[in-house]
Structure 1
Amino acid sequence: MKLHVSRILPDSVMDAARAHFDVTTRDSTQPMDLDEIRAALATHDVLLPTLGDALGAEAFSGEIRAKGLANFGVGYNHIDVAAARAAGLVVTNTPGAVTDATADIAMTLILMTARRAAEGERLVRAGDWSGWHPTQMLGLHVTGKTLGVIGMGRIGQAIAHRCHAGFGMEVVFYNRSEKEIPGARQLGSVAEVCATADIVCIALAATPETRHLIAAEALAAIRPHAILVNIARGDIIDEAALIDALQAGRIGGAGLDVYEHEPHVPEALRRLDTVTLLPHLGTATLEVREAMGRMALDNAIAIAEGRAPPNPV
């Protein structure tokens, strides 16, 4: 069986893949283009794509040998799942493996943004720090504040637990379905969460329904001192509306690991000292990427063998 891996994975995962498959890999770290995707679908039994590999409906219009897509990552908004299924392909992802690492990055962004750490680090590196004084770079004290989580799935719950247990925060959240979460209180709308919280954290899956869920109306509900953190997908936020709110000082700051048109980050966003910007580090630890790779490979083997995969989407 032939497996196409869109971008090289950790060595242990690639070794395991080669033990089960005739493996094709690419030298590039950039997403596959449409011609590459069509060629891979026509010549391989399973594809192992990842973030940015644009598997839209047009990708499935040609000859297809592949039986399925074993996506490397929990998010699969780069795949038109309905079109893939209509073409006879199984689609899987890697939930669970990413939860703690992504929640840890949320905490990194919360603390860095609230305490102005990125701004302070730039000040020191530039040689412009003139020494300590009592009103230097005063930030937001996070202990005892209110966290608002938008999307209370695995990752949202892990963030909520860290903030409640570790920092004594009250937790409110919005979720489409009703949930009972110890130490947290469900509210009826995104706007209500934004209006209540000192820190608003987005932990939703990216779907057509969640695109620009955080736009001008939701941003207007966020209080002037509060910060917005996104560790989900970039297009959940209307980036232009966020920039406008930040430039006008209508919200206190933002911590972003993802962007609407990734990897492009608008210059206006890069210029703002009130924003912490990370290069999509959510799952970027060796242990987590290996666990994701093993999960994706288990899915790929099941697809190739005609069995039900462990993690269908």
Structure 2
Amino acid sequence: MPENNRTKLLIARRVPNAVASRAVSEFRAYVTESDMDAWSVVDFCKKHDVPAVLIGKKSGLQEDHIAALPSTVKIIANASAGVDHMNVAFALERGIVVTNAPDALTECTADFSMLLVLAACRRASEYERIMRSGWGKSFGMTEMLGTRVNGKTLGIVGFGRIGRAVAKRAQAFGMKVAYTDIQRASPALENGAMFYPSLEELLPHSQVLTLHVPGGGTPLMTKKEFGLLPEGAVFVNAARGALVNEDALYEALTSGHLFGAGLDVYRNEPHVDVRFAGLQNVFLTPHMASATIETRDQMGFTALDNIAAVLDGQKALNPV
């Protein structure tokens, strides 16, 4: 097949129609109708000598998969910010460029994090269930009370793009902001937020805590860390489920130490621990922080922009 008619890209996960249309037009891409697993990706690449692959969580390529890829593969593109579903180090060792989409998710993930904060503090899931069951009973001054966010301190773990975007939204709601990260941000980026050099120092000041760091490895939040939060605190996680020891979180929620939680991510997705579904003081969503039409399109377009650059002999726009 002539070079200009050759399939240059395998899209191994389902993508929005706008992304698929551009991929077919620009790269003569093969677009899967259902998410492919890693070995199916390897087999396709061997048969069709494609130089570029866009993968997802199900097609996350580990060392044995990457070792089996043909030398024609030049780039593995991710349409998400996280790359914990693949072995990046081994891909780079093989000379394969790996890219992600770090900016595409920022605004919508920050919006969603604030939604979780507000929903957990104001008992949104409980109120919604009351209405869906028919209401039928007025509540007095002392019943079904939430906790307001105005005036409270929001602790942010990870003050990168998303963490800073959450800080701006929290400040608009009248919240004070404190954070911890590997290093302190510049005064301009801090925008009045208080820096604590360690998680242990941040936690006692965090009336609401939200996580914005990569997952993997040992859980960041265990019984010790939850115990350091002030009594009546609210915990929010729209980052990665692996950051949390869920037994410790459950204990903190059922003991009354935590007022509530807003959760979008879980350790064993898509199979959430059923204990959380039974708790009234938890607002649960199914890993949907980036789930808007605009953001999902932008995620895919960012991956395609990186592929276009690499195949054109240029540097990747978002190398990992």
TM range (shorter): over 0.9
Deviation of 1:107 after TM superposition, in Å, equals 0.7
Aligned with 2:81 (options 61, 68, 74): 74
* Superposed displacement of residue 80, structure 1: 0.9
Distance 2:311 2:167 in 1: 38
Residue 195 of structure 2 corresponds to residue 186 of structure 1: yes
Aligned partner of 1:200 in structure 2 is 209
Q: CA deviation at 1:223?
A: 1.8
Quote the offset at 1:293 in angstroms: 1.3
Cα pair distance change 1:249/1:91, threshold 3 Å: same
Please, what TM-score do these two structures have when normalized by structure 2?
A: 0.92
Return the offset for 1:2: 2.2
Give the Cα–Cα distance (whole angstroms) in 2 for the partners of residues 236 and 52 of structure 1.
Answer: 20
Indicate which of 264, 270, 277 corresponds to 2:271. Answer: 264
Correspondence for 1:242 among 240, 243, 249: 249
Q: 2:39 aligns with which of 35, 40, 61?
A: 35
* Bigger mean CA deviation after superposition, 111-120 or 297-306: 297-306
1:104 aligns with 2:111: yes
Unmatched segments (≥5 aa) in structure 1? none
Distance in 2 of aligned mates of 1:261 and 1:33? 18
Aligned to 1:24: 30
TM-score by length of 1: 0.94
**What whole-Å deviation, never above 9, does each CA across 1:208-241 have from its counterpart, x for those lacking one?**
4xx4011121111112211110111110111222
The CA distance in 2 between the partners of 1:291 and 1:282, in whole Å, is: 14
**Partners of 1:156 and 1:88 in 2: how far apart?**
32
**Partners in 2 of 1:131 and 1:40 — Cα distance?**
61
Contact (CA 8 Å) 2:77, 2:303: kept in 1 or not? yes
2:161 equivalent among 149, 154, 167: 154
Alignment-mate amino acid for residue 11 of structure 1: N
In 2, the alpha carbon distance for the partners of 1:224 and 1:248 equals 10
Secondary structure of the residue aligned to 1:61 is: helix
Q: Could you tell me which residue of structure 2 aligns to residue 46 of structure 1?
A: 52
Change (3 A) 1:193 1:169: same
* Structure 2 alignment gaps of length 5 or more: 1-6
Aligned CA distance change for structure 1 residues 231 and 11 (closer, same or farther; 3 Å)? same
- 1:131 is paired with a residue of what secondary structure? coil
**2-side partners of 1:79 and 1:273: how far apart?**
36
Find out whether 1:215 has 2:215 as its counterpart.
Answer: no
Larger radius of gyration: 2
Offset, 1:129: 4.6
Q: Give distance in 1, aligned partners of 2:164 and 2:178.
A: 11
- For 1:241 and 1:6, how far apart are their aligned partners in 2? 36
**1:51/1:73 contact within 8 Å kept:** no
1:254 lines up with 2:261 in the alignment: yes
Equivalent position amino acid for 2:274 in 1: E
- Compute the displacement of 1:52 (Å): 4.3
Please state if 1:232 is matched with 2:239: yes
Shift of 1:131: 1.8
Structure 1 SS opposite 2:90: helix
In structure 2, what is the Cα distance between the partners aligned to 1:41 and 1:112?
Answer: 45
What CA deviation, in whole Å up to 9, does each residue of 1:24-54 have, x standing for no partner?
A: 22222x5x32321322443422111123432
Deviations, residues 117-175 of structure 1 (Å, cap 9, x unaligned): 111101221235512321221011111110000000000000011111x1121111010
Alignment RMSD, CA only? 1.6
Work out whether residues 152 and 175 of structure 2, in 8 Å CA contact, stay in contact via their aligned partners in 1: yes
Q: Deviations over 1:242-276 (max 9, x none)?
A: 12221222211111111111111011111111111
Partner SS for 1:84: helix
| Equivalent residue number for residue 12 of structure 2 | 6
User: Larger deviation: 244-253 or 171-180?
Assistant: 244-253
Q: Is it true that 1:55 corresponds to 2:55 in the alignment?
A: no
- Equivalent residue in structure 1 for 2:299, among 292, 303, 309: 292
Alignment of 1:89 with 2:96, yes or no, is yes
User: What is the CA-CA distance between 1:13 and the residue it aligns to?
Assistant: 1.4
> Quick one: which amino acid aligns to residue 201 of structure 2?
E
Q: How many residue pairs end up in the alignment?
A: 308
Check the 8 A contact 2:13/2:59 in 1, yes or no: no
